Amino acid sequence: MTDKKTLSPWFWVPTLYFAEGIPYFLVNNISVMMFAKMGVPNGQMALFTSLLYLPWTIKPFWSPFVDILKTKRWWIIAMQLLMTATFVLLTLTIPHPSPEMIAAGETPISLFTVMLILFIITAFASATHDIAADGFYMLALTTHQQAAFVGARSVFYRLSNIFGQGVLLVIAGALELKTGNIPLAWQLTLLVTSVLFGLIALWHIFFVPKPASDKSSLEGKPQSAKAIFAEFGRTFVTYFKKPGILLAMIFMLVYRLPEAFLIKMINPFLVASNEAGGLALPTETVGIAYGTIGVAFLMLGGILGGIFASRVGLKKSMWWMAACMTLPCLSFVYLSIWLPTNIVAISTAIAIEQFGYGFGFTAYMLYMMYFSEGEFKTAHYAICTAFMALSMMIPGMFAGYLQEALGYKDFFWMVICCSVATLLVTFFAYRRLPADYGRK
């Protein structure tokens, strides 16, 4: 077998980042569609699925331990095996509410208590896997290789998005039509996910390399509890002493506010009946329109955003990206007013919104990279991603109840009003940015 120290990154970078995306999208996106199809009311659904963001929000509290204890490779393999086990258990424990309960939209979230616990375990394992995978990427590759594979890394992570929100929804939709049994359709869909993820974990056991640089940060030093917690504390202290920390925190929490509200209600809106203000699309159609076409345009927006920012720099691209983050949300105002039945019109509106989000999100990612520069770059970036998760979790918790109170049309108008907050934080962040950051 090929020496793991000299193995081409093509053997493991694509599969590593594909595997990184699957549990994230399953926990935070697929769960939304599954609960909606099972008849869970929007308020309960949005609250509990938003709480599943919590592990990504608090992961900085244990991210230093991934550096301090064991190797990054050990954490990657261990977390993938743990998530494979939780996926199997999710398949075995999915409840089967009656068709009458589902049709009435009165399925209590309490029926899914065991599944929610398994989702939480998956979320903690996934957040830990993210920390280890990102750190391993920087350790196992030279700086030249890191630059060369950043595109592949991003593409395969986005392909996992298409798999999660596109392929799995198409499978679930096809099974719903074939079996006429929504819970069974989702049970079989989760089985497909667990088998695929298990195969990827098995692949990584043999093909993820063992670089000499992948070691505990305390290797060769006394690994006492005092030394571990001293290193842990220094990571946080240096982060919160960075210049401009208050502005950075506000920016990371507010920039994506419109999308944070919107994203929780997209799938429920697409499958809700016309009488409830939705588009009444079949699950399979949602998988094509939103999970495949939408995600493809999200990827395109991200790629073009990266090219644009690399040519003009973060500062000059900031306002263009803020506009793309906010204005395309009007697509859902259009959909909620006219309730079109033409799949081309629906897919076009979704593609416009997703392209804008992908393009605008580039500024957010670059800002986090910029703010993480310096000592403890890996751990500090993990703290930034925790604020990113919190920016989605808090609005998402209330999105369902707001939608139930306002209706879909007025809810989407409220999302547009939230764009003011995005523009305000962009104005203040723009003034503090260096002119050449991110430019070639």
Instruction: Give 10-26 pLDDT, tens digit per residue.
Output: 999 999 999 999 999 99
Mean pLDDT of 223-233: 69
**Looking at the predicted structure, is the pLDDT value of residue 7 above 80?**
no
353's tokens: 């919104």
pLDDT of residue 375: 73
The pLDDT tens digits for 316-337 are 999 999 999 999 999 999 999 9
User: Which of the 8 DSSP states describes residue 69?
Assistant: S
pLDDT of residue 219: 60
pLDDT of residue 1: 42
Give 376: exposed, middle or buried? Use CB within 10 Å, 0-12, 13-18, 19+: buried
- Reduced to 3 states (helix: H, G, I; strand: E, B; else coil), residue 213 is coil
Mean pLDDT of 335-344: 96
- Tokens 């081309």 appear where? 344
Dihedral angle sign, alpha carbons of residues 321, 326, 330, 336:
positive
For residues 220 and 230, give the distance between their C-alpha atoms in angstroms, rounded to a whole number.
16
Residue type, 106: E
Return the H-helix or E-strand segment holding 150. Answer: helix 143-162
Q: What's the whole-model pTM score? A: 0.84
For residues 21 and 16, give the distance between their C-alpha atoms in angstroms, rounded to a whole number.
9
Mean pLDDT of 411-422: 97
193's tokens: 């996910």
Contact 211, 5 (CB under 8 A): yes
Q: How far, rounded to the nearest angstrom, does the alpha carbon of residue 211 sit from its chain's CA centroid?
A: 28
For residues 363 and 284, give the distance between their C-alpha atoms in angstroms, rounded to a whole number.
33
What DSSP line would sit under 377-397, residue for residue?
HHHHHHHHHHHHHHHHHHHHH
- Nearest residue to 395 via CA among 251, 257, 250: 257
pLDDT of residue 24: 93
- Nearest residue to 264 via CA among 114, 43, 58, 20: 43
Q: What are the backbone dihedrals phi and psi of residue 65, each rounded to the nearest 5 degrees, phi first? A: -65, -25
- Nearest residue to 388 via CA among 57, 77, 125, 120: 57
**Looking at the predicted structure, is the pLDDT value of residue 404 above 70?**
yes
For residues 127 and 140, give the distance between their C-alpha atoms in angstroms, rounded to a whole number.
20
Mean pLDDT of the chain: 90
pLDDT of residue 5: 54
CB-facing half-sphere around the CA of 21: CA atoms within 13 A: 18
pLDDT of residue 437: 80
Residue type, 91: T
pLDDT of residue 151: 65
For residues 236 and 376, give the distance between their C-alpha atoms in angstroms, rounded to a whole number.
9
For residues 50 and 36, give the distance between their C-alpha atoms in angstroms, rounded to a whole number.
14
Quickly count: other Cβ atoms within 10 Å of residue 143's Cβ: 8
149's tokens: 């594979």
Mean pLDDT of 58-81: 87
Q: How far, rounded to the nearest angstrom, does the alpha carbon of residue 267 sit from its chain's CA centroid?
A: 15
Mean pLDDT of 137-143: 80
pLDDT of residue 256: 95
- Nearest residue to 175 via CA among 164, 162, 186: 186
pLDDT of residue 224: 62
Among 56-65, 185-194, 266-275, 328-337, the range scoring the smallest mean pLDDT is 56-65
Question: Higher model confidence: residue 435 or residue 100?
Answer: 100
pLDDT of residue 299: 85
Q: What are the backbone dihedrals phi and psi of residue 418, each rounded to the nearest 5 degrees, phi first? A: -65, -15
**Looking at the predicted structure, is the pLDDT value of residue 3 above 60?**
no
Percent of the chain predicted with pLDDT > 90: 66
**Looking at the predicted structure, is the pLDDT value of residue 217 above 70?**
no
Quickly count: other Cβ atoms within 10 Å of residue 327's Cβ: 16
- Tokens 């298990």 appear where? 198
The pLDDT tens digits for 353-396 are 999 998 999 899 889 888 988 777 777 888 898 899 899 999 99
Cα angle for residues 356, 349, 407 (degrees, 5° grid): 100
Mean pLDDT of 120-140: 90
pLDDT of residue 223: 56
Among 49-58, 59-68, 232-241, 310-319, the range scoring the smallest mean pLDDT is 59-68
pLDDT of residue 4: 53
Quickly count: other Cβ atoms within 10 Å of residue 109's Cβ: 18
- Reduced to 3 states (helix: H, G, I; strand: E, B; else coil), residue 403 is helix
CB-facing half-sphere around the CA of 70: CA atoms within 13 A: 14
